[in-house]
Structure 1
Amino acid sequence: MPVHADHPRSIDETALAAAALDGTMAGVAVFDTELRYLYVNPALVRHNGLLPAAHLGRRPSEVLPDIDAREDLMRAVLADGRAREVTSSGRLPAESGTARCYWHGAYHRLEVAGRVVGVVGIVLEVMASDAEQHRFAQAQRHLSLLDSANTRIGTTLDMDTTCAELTELVVPGLADVATVEVFPPDVAPPVRPAPPDVVRMRRAAISSVRGLSRGIAQFGVAGDYIDYQQDAAVPRCLVTNQPVVENLTGDERLSRAAPSPERVAAYRELGLHSAIAVPIAVRGAPIGVLGLLRACGSPVFTDDDVVVARELAVRAAVHLDHARRFTHEHTIALELQRSLLSEPRPPHPHIEIATRYLPADRSVLVGGDWFDVIPLPDGRHLKAMGDVMGHGVEAAVAMSHYRSLLRLLADEELPPHRILEQLDRMVERSGLDRAATCLIAVVDRTGGVCEVSSAGHLPPVFIDPGPAGTWLGDVPAGPPLGTGFGGYRTTRVECGPGTVLFMYTDGLVERRGEDIDVSVARLADLNLPESGDLEELLDAVLERFGPGAEDDIAVMASRARVPFPADDCATG
């Protein structure tokens, strides 16, 4: 073993140390700070079945890939200098077949002249009975499961995904079949009512070993509702908030654990013989059940298995509660969005309208973008596209205020710029603290004239099926609404029959690192599809401009239907 030059020793001392290391029955190794072998004694060479040259300069995991080398523990010793002991196991090249060896190791940091130079490891092989080896291996599997749960469960806020992560984690390490079932959501489309003598659960996820997957599917797949008889394992688990273990050695016990009596024969055919139902609870209230099953040659569940299953359920419960709350709020938000942003009805049978709304964050379905179409006297109609600053429920509430005020002002039959002026003053007086852009177009269906005014909004696009083609409206943009500055103007645009008016919010074109004028200019390339269908037009627009959007997108395309009688020509 090398000795640092700052620590000279006599020949006798060095020879004594070498003799001690070479003669001991314990395996001794010295590693550098990168955990590469610097020295191995003869006992470790015999134990590992590899020559010294096969060790030197390499890490344990490289030399002996089938052992639990615990390099993480060795790094901890290097970091803090605290010696550690650990029992490990694995398969060594010197052993024949698949025999597993067990050894006890002690590790301490090696320092020379105050400088950390490596780690010394001393290992001694220990014998274990078959039962002890089995328990040790089982404990290792359990610890591995619990360790993996920290990174594999709860990667999203989707409840079913979280349930699937749990079932996939425990199969096959803890069970041959795993299910997670939850109570039906309180905000969701209604399902058929459950009979009074059953407990209805929704199967959120199911996993099984390959040989059982086809047979298990007959009992219900993810998304199905499962009805349990009152004395089945799942309802008993929910009532007591304690795990229920069923080692199903007889048909009577099997029928009591099954959801319904007719399942017994099918369970027997698949060889299912043991089950655990573990409550998944938050603050003492159950929200679901983790079900584990073993079949055929797998051993029955032990008390240790129950402890691990319960710990996994506890860890999953936190993530499932977050996901459940998110799903609840997400559903309410979706209903709010639908109520606030209902698709406008055509103001006249001769007017076609197509709309889309895409939130930038799919987890936040409410926002400040809106569109509307309001019928006016004399065959005219008002079209509006607006964008309130911000996202989420607060922006949606502000958007609702803007939309309501606009509808109120539209009844006064004012030109577009006067509507925006009035709306700006009303918003300022109301104390609404969110500014908004808005584009208003009043279309005279019989006169071929479109009057447009903008409050800080991007210009409209006109798509003519005839020789005029596509062009951007030259509309001066006044200040956003809510600023109190006013100063809006109305621009008259002459349009031919069948011209499409395309309106949008900035999420469609605004991209990081690109000038907004460049982005908007690309809209001049829009063309109607061969079918002329407005829905297909919006599909094509979103396919081209939607990817990469960082803000909500609202788009609306409208036009008068053609052909009309000569005295009933129209614009969009």
Structure 2
Amino acid sequence: MDLGVPQQKTPRPRDAAAGRVQLAVVVVDADGLVSHWSTGARKLFGVAREDAIGCSAGELLPVAGALRDHGEPSRDGMYAEFGPELDSSLSGVVAYPTAGRARVDQRDRGRIEVLWWAYPLVGPGPERLLVLAADSAQLRGGEGAEGRNAETIAPGFALHTDFPGYLKLSGRLSEILPSMSVQEATRIVSQVLELGYPVLEFSHHDRIPVTPDWGVPQRSGHRTSEDARRIADGQLAPRAVPRPELDLEYAAVRERLEFLNEVSGRIGTSLDLERTIREVTSAAVPRFTDFAGTHLRAAVLAGEGFPDGPPDVTTVWHRVWVEHNDEPGRWDDTVPVGEPIAFPEHTPFFQCMVTGEPVIIPYVSEELSNQISGEFEKRDLRPLITHRSLLIVPLKARDVVLGFMVLMRRPGREPFDDMDRTTGAELAARAGLVLDNARMYTYQENVAETLQDSMLPQVEPRMAGCDIATRYLPGALLGRVGGDWFDSVKLPGSRTALVVGDVMGHGLNSAAMMGQLRTAVLTMATMEMPPAQLLRNLDDLAQRLGEQYLATCLYAVYDPIRSELQIANAGHIPPVLVRAEDGRAELLDLPTGAPIGVGGVAFATATVRVLPGDRLVLCTDGLVEVRGQDIGAGLAALCASAAHPAASMDDACDTIIRALNPSGGRKDDVALLMARLNGIPDDDVGEWQLALDPREVARSRRLVRGKLLDWELPDAVEAAELMVSELVTNAVKHGRTHHIGLRLVRTGALLCEVSDDEPAPASLLDATADDEFGRGLVLVSSLAREWGSSTTARGKTVWFELALSRLPGPRRNDW
């Protein structure tokens, strides 16, 4: 592998090739135990990886100055044996690297001489010492014209900037760390560059940067005559004879790096959780594995936030996707997609999810297959896993297991090995990060949607004298949270308040402002404020809340008995009125006013006469505004679509949405409210004036009885008479100068209203057994479906409603 390493500043070009050496790479943790042991380390020291990992570094590495020594010095002053203790450089006291030469005894080769470089590491990871080592024999080129041989070569350190083309040189330093995760390698490489680039010193004058040689043959397999002459003169070190097994190892490393690079480009193209899961699972098949199944914790899949605590036997997992290259349907019945499952304790799947570490089973024997399958009730996994190679890797984020991937290879394919385990772990690490990003996005989407839904009212489709339909569309690119709202408020006298508003801006702040303003409108509406007065009060409130409170609002009150609308506008787009008589749609010409929060601007109330069947359409500007177009075109399209015949109110709303938002890609959110103004016929209204005379109480009962019998509502007579009697009695007692008003309205329910000129609101009293008064409203509250009291400058109105389908009878023992 010719890395194309640049030459140093002053030395001879002949020295460059000598820097290419086969390296042993070892990482030691804070406890002095080996945590990484490369293939080069196995070949140099003759210790297998499985025997080295977890062992004391002092028992394996002849590294003086980095490990505290307990052995006897050799003839050249170096130590052949060292104890397991790490010196103070690993605790941060000494922050410089060390290098040296040592002689070790190897079983097959006898005593060999080793050059080594040791770097103390710091940081959040467990790595505390990086050791690079090489056999000095590969650098022995014989005596040259200048008398240099292997004895003149010593390990050392130099700034990587000492060499021309150092950027290319430092960029390839990560190749020294094979089979290591990107996170580990990045942290270690950054510290190596700070502490000093490993070099070979020739007589302490010439320095050559060390670059790894994994045994890959050069571009040309033949020596030139010039090469032969330079080797004879000692000017060029002889190249090692290419070894096929090293070529295969290098090819395997490159293949896995290319695979991980390809996977990184394929996953994470979307923040959609379901799509991300499919990408992650499909990326592994068939290049890395023949079967891949992804399981996620139920909380992650449901978008409920970050999982709390480690998983256990009660944790429910969902098999969210399966990809394989077996015959179609082979896995569907036994491992169906979407299945919730809790994994038994004595299985490799449980081991992976609780330890957060990959689990590898190179070959699933029939005995092991029976054991694993036996842990699952009513599920025979044996035909699927027997004689296969199994690798289970965790999907983690912030050290919490979100899920895991089950990977399997069929018989006849190379079984999973340690390098595959590292590759699978790296794949899972990248996939876990992407899945966590998608999970967080899904969670935020759910939070935003829940917040928006909680702030929007559940509008009753039928109010007294009108039918209502609504639509809310979140902005396509703004996180589903906005400041648009609509509302309907039930008012005394069978009237209905209709509201549409739009807080300027988007996001959580706008949604929070919208919630405050909506609550204020709802409160003031129940106080029967005229539309203009309500907007003035809302404007004052917005200014007190802060300068950022700016909103447009349209407030209308529909009186179905008088067949009229009273509307006030605060900077909002005008409403559309569709006339039932000829189907014509028109924009209502209203005083526009300034947006809420501007202050110092008067609002005016306009009165519009309507007929039964007319439809009123209120919406926010997100429906009609298109960037680059005049808003007049959008309003014209709104009128045209609103006038289109429809079978129902919902169909009419859908027609408008389809016409003005055909692709569903509007950036702004949209609120739409449509009300069909049915009116209340005169035959369904009974209205009388009563004098301030106690004898009028009896008359009120007779009037109510007569009207209910005329309406063929005999079941309502007794309860209505009793409650009207109580309300009229209170009005006679507290009235001042004017007459008492009594009104009955028959719609979907029976509405009764009693009005007087006393502005003090009616309220429930806690009457004791000795009190002669104070039980009237308690009686009304117990018999009526709904009741209430509203106050105006002219007095108050107390009302109650009785359901016509099932009317309560009086409970005489409560009187």
TM-score normalised by length of structure 1: 0.72
2:670 to 538, 549, 553: 553
- 1:174 offset after TM fit, Å? 0.9
Corresponding residue of 1:289 = 404
Q: Following the alignment from structure 2 to structure 1, what is the Cα–Cα distance between the partners of residues 322 and 374?
A: 15
Contact preservation (8 Å) 2:578, 2:584: yes
Aligned match for 2:436, one of 309, 321, 329: 321
Is the 2:531–2:568 Cα contact (8 Å) retained in structure 1?
A: yes
* Correspondent of 1:495 among 605, 610, 621: 610
Are 2:635 and 1:520 equivalent residues in the alignment? yes
Task: Give the C-alpha shift of residue 315 in structure 1.
Answer: 1.3
Aligned residues: CA RMSD: 3.3
SS in 2 for 1:219: coil
Q: Greater shift after overlay, 160-169 or 220-229?
A: 220-229
Residue 407 of structure 1 aligns with which residue?
Answer: 522
Using the TM superposition, give the Cα deviation of residue 264 of structure 1 relative to its aligned residue in structure 2, in angstroms. 7.0
Q: Could you say which residue in structure 2 is the equivalent of 1:169?
A: 283
Shift in CA distance, 442/420, structure 1 to aligned 2, threshold 3 Å: same
Asked if residue 207 in structure 1 is aligned to residue 323 in structure 2, the reply is: yes
Are 1:181 and 2:181 an aligned pair? no
SS in 1 for 2:330: helix
* Superposed counterparts of 1:210-221, under 5 Å: 211-221=326-336
Map Cα deviations across residues 220-277 of structure 1 (whole Å, 9 max, x no partner). Answer: 4443212211112221012222111123432332244459435774442576612111
Rate the CA distance shift 1:287–1:479 in 2: closer, same or farther, 3 A: same
* Contact 2:503/2:551, CA 8 A, preserved across alignment: yes
Equivalent AA in structure 1 for residue 263 of structure 2: A
Please tell me whether the aligned partners of residues 204 and 223 of structure 1 are also in contact (alpha carbons under 8 angstroms).
yes
Q: 5 Å matches for 1:171-570?
A: 171-185=285-299, 188=302, 197-209=313-325, 211-258=326-373, 260-261=375-376, 265-268=380-383, 273-346=388-461, 348=463, 350-361=465-476, 364-431=479-546, 433-467=548-582, 469-527=584-642, 530-546=645-661, 547=663, 548-561=665-678
8 Å contact kept, 1:272–1:294:
no
Q: Which whole-Å CA distance do the structure 2 matches of 1:527 and 1:358 have between them?
A: 17
**Matched position secondary structure for 1:162:** helix
List alignment gaps of at least 5 residues for structure 2.
1-164, 176-215, 221-240, 305-310, 686-744, 747-815
* Partners of 1:463 and 1:526 within 8 A in 2: no
Q: Note closer, same or farther for the CA distance 1:446–1:286 as it changes in structure 2 (3 Å cut).
A: same
1:28 matched residue in structure 2: none
Unpaired segments ≥5 residues, structure 1 = 1-76, 87-101, 107-125
Asked whether the equivalents of residues 460 and 502 of structure 1 are also in contact (C-alpha less than 8 Å), the reply is yes
Q: Aligned-pair distance for 1:327?
A: 2.1
How far did 1:351 drift? Answer: 2.5
Deviation at residue 456 of structure 1 after TM alignment? 0.6
Counterpart amino acid of residue 206 in structure 1: V
> Is the Cα contact below 8 Å between 1:233 and 1:256 reproduced in 2?
no
Q: Distance in 2 between matches of 1:218 and 1:104?
A: 53
Deviation at 1:172, TM superposition (A): 0.6
Among all aligned residue pairs of Structure 1 and Structure 2, give the percentage whose two residues are the same amino acid.
30
Cα distance in structure 1, aligned partners of 2:645 and 2:394: 58
- Distance, in Å, in 1 between the alignment partners of 2:680 and 2:412 is 76
Residue in structure 1 matched with residue 271 of structure 2 by the alignment = 157
Residues 477 and 219 (structure 1), Cα distance of their counterparts in 2 relative to 1, 3 Å cut: farther
Aligned partner letter, 1:355: T
Whole-angstrom CA distance in 1 between matches of 2:623 and 2:274: 32
Secondary structure of the residue aligned to 1:252 is: helix
Q: TM-score, with normalisation over the residues of structure 2?
A: 0.51
Residue 269 and residue 174 in structure 1: after superposition, are their counterparts in 2 closer, same or farther (change >3 A)? Answer: closer
Give the superposition deviation at 1:371.
0.2
Cα distance between partner residues in 1 of 2:370 and 2:378: 8
Quick one: which amino acid aligns to residue 675 of structure 2?
A: S
Contact 1:171 1:178 (C-alpha < 8 Å) held by counterparts:
yes
Kindly provide the CA deviation profile for residues 133-184 of structure 1, in whole angstroms up to 9, marking residues without a partner as x: 7656544432222111322121222223222211111111111111221211
For residues 503-538 of structure 1, what are the alpha-carbon distances to aligned partners after superposition, in whole Å with 9 as ceiling and x for unaligned? 111110111111112221222212455543111111
Q: Secondary structure at the match of 1:425?
A: helix
CA deviation string 1:404-439 (max 9, x = no partner): 000111122122111101110112123362200001
Letter in 1 for 2:579: D
Judged with a 3 Å threshold, the aligned counterparts in structure 2 of structure 1 residues 224 and 529 are, in CA distance, closer, same or farther, namely farther
* 2:573 aligned partner, one-letter code: L
SS at match of 1:360: coil
Q: Distance in 1 between matches of 2:571 and 2:298?
A: 46
Equivalent-residue separation in structure 2 for 1:439 and 1:399 (angstroms): 14
Displacement after TM superposition at 1:400 (Å): 0.3
Moved more, 379-388 or 279-288: 279-288
Secondary structure at the aligned position of 2:331 is classed as: helix
Q: 1:411 to 1:345 in 2, by over 3 A?
A: same
- Which secondary structure does the structure 1 equivalent of 2:343 belong to? strand
Aligned residue in 2 for 1:55: none
Contact 2:535 2:603 in 1 (8 A): yes
C-alpha distance in 1, partners of 2:633/2:647?
27
Contact 2:478 2:667 in 1 (8 A): no
The alpha carbon displacement at 1:563 in A equals 9.0
| AA partner of residue 428 (structure 1) | Q
Spell out, residue by residue over 1:283-319, the C-alpha distance to the aligned partner (whole angstroms, 9 max, x if none): 2221111221122433321111111110111112222
Amino acid across the alignment from 2:271 = L
Question: Matches of 1:437 and 1:463 in 2, distance apart?
Answer: 23
Distance 2:596 2:374 in 1: 61
Does the residue aligned with 2:472 lie in a helix, a strand or coil? strand
Q: Residues 96-117 of structure 1, C-alpha deviation per residue, up to 9 Å, x if partnerless?
A: xxxxxx97438xxxxxxxxxxx
Say which SS state the counterpart of residue 573 (structure 2) adopts: coil
Task: Return the alpha-carbon distance in structure 2 between the equivalents of residues 338 and 166 of structure 1.
Answer: 32
RCO greater where, 1 or 2, for CA within 8 Å and sep 6 or more? 1
Residue among 212, 215, 219 paired with 1:105? 219
Matches of 1:392 and 1:256, distance apart in 2: 54
Contact 1:145 1:169 in 2 (8 A): no
| 8 Å CA contact 1:347, 1:381 repeated in 2 | no
- Partners of 1:347 and 1:430 lie apart in 2 by 34
User: 2:255 is matched with which residue: 118, 141, 144?
Assistant: 141
CA distance in structure 2 between the partners assigned to 1:352 and 1:147 by the alignment: 59
Q: Distance in 1 between matches of 2:270 and 2:600?
A: 45
Q: Secondary structure at the match of 2:316?
A: strand
Rounded to whole Å, the distance in 1 between the matches of 2:363 and 2:253 is 24
**Could you tell me which amino acid in structure 2 is paired with residue 200 of structure 1?**
V
